[in-house]
């Protein structure tokens, strides 16, 4: 009875703080749940870092991973049983939860973890209709995109590309990465950002789709059909990594794919690989150097220059797409906010990095952490990260979820016949109609997707 009175007194005396913190006693006595996207062994180092946090705080935490993250979280919210924290890769989806009041604004003491461009501030109306600007999530891990991985320099005129767009409930996203990256490299960050935030029509992406179609038609012309039937990472007989299948030489994928490869697989930036006016050709000389054992300093110097024929805008921008795994609090309590604070701390990142294998060492805003030596391909990605002058959030991740999902579906349909100009016209009209609808519903709430990086490890 005394215990009950104490808890009631806690809640009454701290009523003003309940929206942000809740009553800490109740939260400390139960297990806090973290819902996230990592499964199939990818969650192992994160769970190790979570255990170390538990050893320090004396609290109990459990991680639940799922590939159907959106469906799981929506079901839990509808049942009134959300996780304490959820880790999602889609800022557009997180913005939707913030507008609905499901994701809670970060209190001042943890707001510093909201690092741009992964965690922009949002202006959201509260229940009284008053507009308030807050950060609602913070990145716990980040990845570099705009990369081409290859095991060895191809001697062919055209590389054999890997493609797999299967990914459970989110099948299609590896194809959206192609369209987004080609648009970013050809038109630059400003045009990319305006399109991704709903300010310009989908017709402006036409050339990116057409360039991708030309790449899909290279070699034997079966790449699109093969890509529709393959997972983005899983082969048969429990094998992973499309480059390990023996049927392709080059893969356009984010830095997370390193976990399936050894140091014989190295990354090149898509800007360096394609240059201006190229469609799936050989890398420029500077990207070849990355596979020749050239020093980091020499490669950084060469990245300051660009291949012959590359546009001035490209040489100035050196832009990369980035993605991230962002943590938001869905069941606020002092213990939940403390956990988010700890997950974004240097100590947690050190623990996470130490628990990971060399080829799966995570990247964090601010640079690499840990004392275990980096693998060569991990170091190579970090060098490209440090050499970027601009980083832009993955466009589809930043879009309202309904438009993002329509983009995924359009990619799947496009791969049925990439050379059909009439099909592309129809798909772009459908996507444009969805964009207009989302604009009318004021669903685009993210504006700043690109961030200038002043120097090595800049604002990361």
Give the start-to-end residue ranges of the domains of the chain.
Answer: 2-143+324-360, 145-322+380-452
How large is the average pLDDT for residues 197-204?
A: 98
Residue 173, pLDDT > 70, answer yes
Q: What is the mean pLDDT of the chain?
A: 84
2-143+324-360 and 145-322+380-452 in the same fold:
yes
Banded model confidence at residue 220, pLDDT cuts 50, 70, 90 = confident
For residue 280, what pLDDT is reported? Answer: 53
For residue 157, what pLDDT is reported? Answer: 61
For residue 124, what pLDDT is reported? Answer: 83
Helices 346-355 and 44-57, axial angle in degrees (round to 10): 140
Using alpha carbons only, give the angle 34, 36, 42 rounded to the nearest 5 degrees.
Answer: 120
Question: Which residue has better confidence, 270 or 307?
Answer: 270
In this predicted model, what pLDDT tens digit does every residue of 204-215 receive, in sequence order?
999 999 999 999
Return the minimum-mean-pLDDT range out of 22-26, 84-88, 269-273, 419-423. Answer: 22-26
How large is the average pLDDT for residues 399-428?
A: 97
| CA 457 to each of CA 112, 238, 267, 347, 365: distance values in angstroms, whole numbers, following the listed order | 17, 37, 18, 18, 8
For residue 328, what pLDDT is reported? Answer: 98
Topology of the domain comprising 2-143+324-360: D-Maltodextrin-Binding Protein; domain 2 (3.40.190)
For residue 293, what pLDDT is reported? Answer: 36
Question: Which residue has better confidence, 154 or 15?
Answer: 154
How large is the average pLDDT for residues 302-313?
A: 34
Alpha-carbon span 210 to 178, nearest angstrom? 11
Residue 324 near residue 290 (C-beta atoms within 8 A): no
- The alpha carbons of the chain give a radius of gyration, in whole angstroms, of 22
Banded model confidence at residue 460, pLDDT cuts 50, 70, 90 = very low
How large is the average pLDDT for residues 176-194?
A: 97
Percent of the chain whose pLDDT exceeds 90? 70
Residue 314, pLDDT > 50, answer no
For residue 65, what pLDDT is reported? Answer: 96
How large is the average pLDDT for residues 50-72?
A: 96
How large is the average pLDDT for residues 154-175?
A: 86
**CA 156 centroid distance within chain:** 32
How large is the average pLDDT for residues 18-37?
A: 68
For residue 191, what pLDDT is reported? Answer: 97
For residue 358, what pLDDT is reported? Answer: 86
Structure-block tokens of residue 364: 């964090």
Banded model confidence at residue 439, pLDDT cuts 50, 70, 90 = very high
How large is the average pLDDT for residues 380-388?
A: 93
Banded model confidence at residue 119, pLDDT cuts 50, 70, 90 = very high
Q: What secondary structure does DSSP assign to 368-423, as a single string?
A: ---SSPPPHHHHHHHHHHHH-SEEEE-HHHHS-HHHHHHHHHHHHHHTT-TT-HHH
Banded model confidence at residue 298, pLDDT cuts 50, 70, 90 = very low
Banded model confidence at residue 251, pLDDT cuts 50, 70, 90 = very high
Topology of the domain comprising 145-322+380-452: D-Maltodextrin-Binding Protein; domain 2 (3.40.190)
Banded model confidence at residue 457, pLDDT cuts 50, 70, 90 = very low
How large is the average pLDDT for residues 291-313?
A: 35
Banded model confidence at residue 30, pLDDT cuts 50, 70, 90 = confident
Residue 284, pLDDT > 60, answer no
**Long-range contacts at 296-304 (CB < 8 A, ≥ 24 apart):** 296/379, 296/383, 299/383, 299/387, 300/383, 300/386, 300/387, 300/456, 303/269, 303/272, 303/384, 303/387
Question: Which residue has better confidence, 366 or 13?
Answer: 366
Contacts of 161 (CB under 8 A, 6+ apart): 215, 218, 219, 223, 248, 249, 250, 251, 252, 280
Residue 299, pLDDT > 50, answer no
Question: Which residue has better confidence, 292 or 342?
Answer: 342
Residue 13, pLDDT > 60, answer no
Banded model confidence at residue 368, pLDDT cuts 50, 70, 90 = low
Banded model confidence at residue 19, pLDDT cuts 50, 70, 90 = very low
Return the minimum-mean-pLDDT range out of 24-38, 46-60, 137-151. Answer: 24-38
Banded model confidence at residue 8, pLDDT cuts 50, 70, 90 = very low
For residue 274, what pLDDT is reported? Answer: 86
How large is the average pLDDT for residues 40-67?
A: 96
Return the minimum-mean-pLDDT range out of 13-22, 25-34, 377-386, 411-420. Answer: 13-22
- On the question of a cis peptide bond just before residue 117, with omega within 30 degrees of 0, the verdict is yes
For residue 72, what pLDDT is reported? Answer: 96
């Amino acid at each position: 009875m005394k215990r009950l009175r104490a808890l009631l007194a806690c809640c009454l005396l701290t009523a003003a703080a309940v929206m942000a913190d809740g009553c800490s006693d109740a939260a400390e006595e139960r297990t806090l749940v973290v819902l996230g996207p990592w499964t199939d062994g990818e969650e192992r180092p994160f769970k190790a870092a979570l255990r170390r946090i538990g050893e320090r705080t004396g609290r109990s935490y459990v991680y639940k991973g799922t590939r159907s993250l959106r469906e799981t979280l929506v079901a839990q919210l509808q049942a009134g049983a959300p996780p304490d924290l959820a880790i999602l890769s889609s800022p557009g989806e997180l913005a939707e939860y913030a507008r609905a009041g499901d994701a809670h604004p970060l209190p001042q003491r943890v707001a510093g973890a909201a690092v741009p461009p992964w965690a922009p501030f949002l202006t959201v109306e509260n229940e009284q209709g008053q507009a308030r600007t807050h950060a609602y999530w913070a990145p716990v891990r980040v990845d570099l995109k705009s990369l081409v991985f290859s095991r060895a320099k191809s001697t062919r005129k055209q590389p054999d590309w890997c493609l797999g767009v299967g990914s459970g409930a989110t099948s299609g996203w590896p194809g959206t990465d192609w369209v987004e990256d080609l648009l970013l490299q050809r038109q630059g960050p400003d045009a990319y950002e305006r399109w991704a935030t709903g300010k310009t029509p989908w017709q402006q992406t036409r050339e990116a789709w057409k360039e991708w179609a030309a790449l899909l038609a290279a070699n034997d012309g079966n790449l699109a059909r093969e890509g529709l039937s393959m997972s983005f990472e899983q082969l048969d007989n429990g094998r992973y990594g499309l480059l390990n299948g023996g049927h392709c030489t080059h893969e356009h994928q984010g830095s997370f794919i390193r976990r399936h490869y050894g140091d014989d697989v190295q990354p090149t930036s898509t800007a360096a690989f394609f240059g201006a006016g190229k469609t799936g050709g050989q890398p420029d000389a500077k990207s070849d150097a990355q596979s020749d054992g050239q020093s980091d300093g020499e490669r950084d110097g060469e990245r300051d220059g660009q291949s012959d024929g590359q546009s001035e805008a490209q040489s100035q921008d050196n832009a990369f797409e980035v993605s991230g795994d962002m943590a938001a609090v869905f069941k606020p309590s002092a213990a939940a906010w403390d956990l988010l604070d700890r997950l974004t701390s240097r100590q947690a990142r050190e623990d996470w990095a130490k628990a990971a294998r060399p080829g799966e060492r995570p990247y964090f805003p601010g640079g690499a952490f840990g004392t275990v030596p980096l693998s060569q391909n991990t170091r190579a990605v970090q060098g490209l990260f440090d050499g970027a002058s601009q980083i832009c959030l993955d466009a589809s991740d930043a879009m309202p979820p309904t438009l993002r999902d329509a983009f995924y579906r359009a990619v799947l349909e496009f791969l049925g016949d990439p050379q059909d100009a009439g099909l592309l016209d129809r798909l772009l009209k459908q996507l444009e109609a969805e964009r207009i609808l989302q604009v009318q519903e004021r669903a685009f709430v993210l504006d700043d997707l690109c961030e200038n990086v002043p120097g090595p490890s800049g604002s990361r």
